[in-house]
Amino acid sequence: MTKRIALLGHPVAHSISPAFQQAALDACAIDARYEAWDTSPEDLRIAVERLRSGDLMGANVTVPHKVEAMRLVDRPDALAERVGALNTIVHRNGLLEATNTDVTGILRALESAEVEVRGAEVLLIGAGGAARAVVVAMRHAGAARVVIANRTPGRAAALASLGGEDLDLRYAPLDIADATFRGAANRARIIVQSTSLGMRHGPDERANPVPAELMHPGQVAFDLVYVPEETPFLRAAAEAGARPVGGLAMLVHQGAEAFRLWTGAPPPIDVMFEAAREALAARSAGAGSTGAVGGPEDG
């Protein structure tokens, strides 16, 4: 019997996860289909219950369902609980287990770019679901301090529970004229951009929250947006002499970890990267699409 894996989100037509996950399944000769299920918030409970069917191996979960789905699974693990959101569900013997592979994706993307996190001060732009995974990843990797910059202070303060004795968590307004923000940008060894700013077909695809004047050589600029490959934030980083790191590696590595959990097989990373790049190239060729693509929440 052909097995299935679902992607739950709304909308999901823009996602490239089906392209690289199906390529991985085919490369490993696993008889399974990866399907995108466009799932409205009202239909989420029904969709999650469908995952209990014997032919379903599990699912990826993307916006806007990562938090709400936590209440619908049987066993969210400690990592999902810590982040406060899931992105991967595994069906085992009728039970739905869940985790958050975004954390692994962030860590492996930085590791593959040879970025040393331990002891670093990090400036994090944004305070949404992706930002929560970044904070947990930075704590896990031994960062010394994370300064969260967000336009709405209350949303940044809501991440306070993710800190602890081993991570100094602070806040700054997302305002390039603010002295606290400017100081955090200057001190940071790593600047992580976790919002949809600069995303192709996003709400503000020309926006850059950290201008080149606030970055300098020796820094790493990590953008979770992966389309376009060179975002305004990454262009500014290169202009300042900082090292740009794009978001595609994070997307593929989080997907690879999910693949391992569903199948028990080592993920074919090279195959997944190749299929992801081909899917992005195809999307770029059909640039008339109006659907947002390439954001930090894409699963």
pTM for this prediction: 0.92
Q: What is the mean pLDDT of residues 83-105?
A: 96
Is residue 276 within 8 Å of residue 251, measured between CB atoms?
Answer: yes
**What confidence tier does 20 reach under pLDDT thresholds 50, 70, 90?**
very high
Kindly report which listed range (11-15, 56-60, 76-80, 137-141) carries the lowest average pLDDT score.
Answer: 11-15
* CATH superfamily of this structure's domain 3-101+255-285: Leucine Dehydrogenase, chain A, domain 1 (3.40.50.10860)
DSSP conformational letter for 176: T
Mean pLDDT of 191-213: 89
For residues 103 and 226, the model is more confident at 103
Domain 103-248 matching CATH 3.40.50.720: the answer reads yes
Query: Is 226 exposed, middle or buried, given 0-12, 13-18 or 19+ CB atoms closer than 10 A?
Result: buried
pLDDT reported for residue 270? 98
With pLDDT > 90 as the criterion, what percentage of the chain qualifies?
Answer: 79
**118 C-beta neighbours (distance < 10 Å), count:** 9
Q: CA-to-CA distance for 227 and 294, rounded, in angstroms? A: 4
What stretch(es) of the chain map to CATH 3.40.50.10860?
3-101+255-285
Q: What are all long-range contacts of 95-100, with beta carbons under 8 Å and residues at least 24 apart?
A: 96/48, 96/51, 96/52, 96/58, 96/72, 97/73, 98/69, 98/70, 98/73, 99/261, 100/66, 100/133, 100/136
Burial of 180 (0-12, 13-18, 19+ CB in 10 A): middle
Q: Say whether pLDDT at 159 is over 70.
A: yes
Tokens of 117: 């996190």
Rounded Cα distance, 22 and 259, in Å = 10
Can you tell me the distance from the alpha carbon of 241 to that of 235, in angstroms, rounded to the nearest whole number? 10
Residues designated catalytic: 66
pLDDT over 70 percentage in the chain: 95
Do 174 and 123 meet the contact criterion of CB atoms below 8 Å apart? Answer: no
Bridge-based pairing of strands 145-150 and 121-125 is parallel
CATH 3.40.50.720 domain position(s) in the chain: 103-248
